[in-house]
Amino acid sequence: MKSLRFSRKQLGIPYALFLLIFVIFPLVLIILYAFTKVDPNGSFELSGVKVSFSLANFIDFFSKSSNIRVLFISLGLAVVTTVICLLIAYPLAYILARSNFNKNGVMLLLFVLPMWINFVLRTAAMKELLFAIGMYSSNKLSFVNTVIGMVYDYLPFVILPLYTVMIKLDKSLLEASADLGAKPASTFFRITLPLTVPGIVSAVTMVFLPTTTSYVVSDTLGNGNVTIIGKIIESQFSTMFDWHAGSAIAMVLLVVIFITMFITNKFTDDDNTQARGNGLW
């Protein structure tokens, strides 16, 4: 019997179908709902309802100061969480990558192990811990508790990409830097840090973007005092059943995500270009 052989294009068909059904088609629906509104005299139907093209959903969102406030709170929460995760994870990943004890990945496994536990269960466990030490009952600490929960839930997603990059660093560069008389601090800022930028960018992407919509953490640990943009989107779809307004808010968040990714990718490209064009010092 002749062995079956598939070309690269044929092997890519299942993946293309998956993207078409579960990514592109839902995104097209979101765009349609975002730029339309219910209109009895509309030119076409969407889900059996007459609609017409309009920017009213975006105008309504930006005309309410409460929505703008929630958007900035969400971005602020994401920035604080990302910075704290990086400050904790970077030295930790650096130690794990250079530790001889970590050859079998035992220590890394201990830090990544929480990723295997259900997200909601981890959040509930953190709530019980904060309640036990008396922090959950204070409304003044709602934002702090939310940050703690976010950091706890997303810290493994920062450690892993940083560790993956650091474990592959060429140690001969560090040795050459020391042989040329560079101090440890100079070696870190001129060699180690630039070479780990791809891991930092991956970590920022994996933390900054989800924290703007992780309303489960803010609802559970914020004691109802912290509202983020993801909660508003969820309420529009599930409570108010206004898919047009919910889709518009989702589009606003999508634009913010695209801008963030553009900035991080541009930063990575510039850093890589500079690293290729310059010497060690």
What one-character-per-residue DSSP string does 43-103 give?
SEEETTEEEEE-SHHHHHHHH-HHHHHHHHHHHHHHHHHHHHHHHHHHHHHHHHHH-GGGG
Task: Please tell me the pTM assigned to this model.
Answer: 0.82
* Same domain assignment for residues 79 and 141: yes
> What is the distance between the alpha carbons of residues 33 and 209, in angstroms, rounded to a whole number?
22
Closest CA to 155 of 199, 98, 114: 114
**pLDDT 10s digits, 18-72:** 999 998 999 999 999 999 998 888 878 887 888 999 999 999 999 999 999 999 9
Phi and psi torsions of 279, nearest 5°: -85, -160
Our count of domains for the chain comes to 2
* Same domain assignment for residues 92 and 35: no
101 DSSP assignment: G
When the pLDDT of each residue in the chain is averaged and rounded to a whole number, the result is 85
**pLDDT 10s digits, 202-261:** 898 889 888 988 888 999 998 888 999 999 999 998 888 889 999 999 999 889 888 887
* Same domain assignment for residues 95 and 152: yes
Residue 241: what pLDDT? Answer: 86
* Same domain assignment for residues 144 and 221: yes
* Same domain assignment for residues 39 and 69: no
Q: Which domain holds residue 186?
A: 65-277
* Mean pLDDT of the region 123-131: 90
| Residue 241: both structure tokens together | 């059943």
> What is the distance between the alpha carbons of residues 108 and 90, in angstroms, rounded to a whole number?
13
* Same domain assignment for residues 220 and 202: yes
* Same domain assignment for residues 40 and 179: no
* Same domain assignment for residues 15 and 91: no
Residue 211 forms part of a structural domain: yes
Last residue of a domain, one of 22, 37, 56: 56
Q: At 271, is the pLDDT very low, low, confident or very high (cuts 50, 70, 90)?
A: low
Residue 74: what pLDDT? Answer: 93
Residue 207: give its domain's CATH number. 1.10.3720.10
